[in-house]
Amino acid sequence: MTNDPTVVFLIPLASPKVRANWSTACFYLRQTLRSVQNSASQNYRVVVASNEQPELEMSFDSNIHSLSLKDSFPVHPDHRVAHRLDKLAKIDAAWRFAKSNWQPRYVMKLDADDLISSKLVGWLNNFGREAGYLIKHGWRWHSGSRYLIEHTEYFDRTCGSCVIIRSDLADRTGPFLTEAEGVVLDETDSAFAASDHCSLVPGSATTTLLLNDSHQRYAAQFSYLGHKVHTLPFSAVIYRVNTSSASRVYSPAKVKFNLRMTLGAIRRKRFITSKLRKEFMLD
């Protein structure tokens, strides 16, 4: 392990003031950190950015750093936007801390309740050469399910823990901020954003490649900067869904399932094997 890690994971943790269950949120974060610590290669760093020190009942090793912030929760009429702005502010602080201490090859935003594969860091260390990687193949896990998990080849459409960015591109800027981050668009541009979830949106505001939450548009963002984002060749992340620690001020929109979607979800179901449990430290 060197002082310049292959990848730094940035984990934003919302304040207990906006969490439905702080103890559960801390328990999920502990599972997330255990999955990172389980990496076959230890050439990584983690920065957890939060307002209050999480109750982890575990010691941070030299690879994991806790960053305490004094910022208050953003005020915005749309609570979903406020939640995203709070998340991005914590990612920004964590990234600035990481850059001041190390020179990582890659940076990855990781939600505080998702789990990573033990293979991820080693793969990036040995084979990571591209400008960035999208995680299209992954897992959706209903928290607490002991036997079943859902595999998906559209992971990046549903989970924000889906992109790995080469660090020299993380601060490159472009028209990447949309209504998801509170930008006010005119009627035409707003309609475009609602109908096209993959392209850059006309009327968007400027931000960096790292500091936006429009994960379905990452391929277009990399292209704007003159680079191609590649697909990671294995299922690298488990996305925890239906968590009881969800923010009090933010609840994702409910999806209405039709018959085709229901049958597709059944088709993608897999049994949770001992190998999968070990790879992701899945409890």
Radius of gyration of the chain (CA): 18
Work out the percent of the chain whose per-residue pLDDT is above 70. Answer: 90
| pLDDT value at 256 more than 60 | no
Can you list the alpha helix ranges (DSSP code H) found in 102-186? 120-127, 155-158
List, for residues 212-242, the tens digit of each pLDDT value: 999 999 999 999 999 999 999 999 999 999 7
Specify the pLDDT at position 192.
98
Q: How many helices (H) and strands (E) does the chain have?
A: 8, 14
Q: How confident is the model at residue 56 (pLDDT cuts 50, 70, 90)?
A: confident
Average pLDDT over residues 158-181: 97
What is the token pair recorded at 108?
Answer: 């990855």
Please say whether the beta carbons of 142 and 257 come within 8 A: no
Specify the pLDDT at position 2.
53
Q: Give the C-alpha separation, 40 to 117, whole Å.
A: 9
Burial of 110 (0-12, 13-18, 19+ CB in 10 A): buried
| pLDDT value at 163 more than 90 | yes
N-terminal to C-terminal alpha carbon distance within the chain = 28
Specify the pLDDT at position 55.
83
Q: CATH topology for 7-280?
A: Spore Coat Polysaccharide Biosynthesis Protein SpsA; Chain A (3.90.550)
Q: How confident is the model at residue 62 (pLDDT cuts 50, 70, 90)?
A: confident
* Of 91 and 265, the one with more pLDDT: 91
Residue with tokens 């191609």: 228
List, for residues 98-133, the tens digit of each pLDDT value: 999 999 999 999 999 999 999 999 999 999 999 999
Specify the pLDDT at position 212.
97
| pLDDT value at 252 more than 60 | no
Query: pTM of the prediction?
Result: 0.91
Distance of CA 261 to the CA centre of its chain: 24
Specify the pLDDT at position 71.
85
> How would you classify residue 246: left for phi > 0, otherwise alpha for psi between -120 and 50, otherwise beta?
beta
Regarding beta strands 64-68 and 132-134, do their DSSP bridges make them parallel or antiparallel, or are they unpaired?
A: unpaired
Specify the pLDDT at position 72.
87
Work out the percent of the chain whose per-residue pLDDT is above 90. Answer: 80
> Looking at residue 199, what DSSP letter applies?
S
Length of the chain, in residues: 283
Please say whether the beta carbons of 114 and 139 come within 8 A: no
| pLDDT value at 58 more than 90 | no
Distance of CA 37 to the CA centre of its chain: 17
Q: Give the C-alpha separation, 63 to 60, whole Å.
A: 8
> Looking at residue 247, what DSSP letter applies?
B
What is the token pair recorded at 35?
Answer: 């999955």
Can you list the alpha helix ranges (DSSP code H) found in the chain? 22-37, 79-101, 120-127, 155-158, 187-195, 218-224, 259-267, 274-280
Q: Give the C-alpha separation, 61 to 64, whole Å.
A: 6
| pLDDT value at 262 more than 80 | no
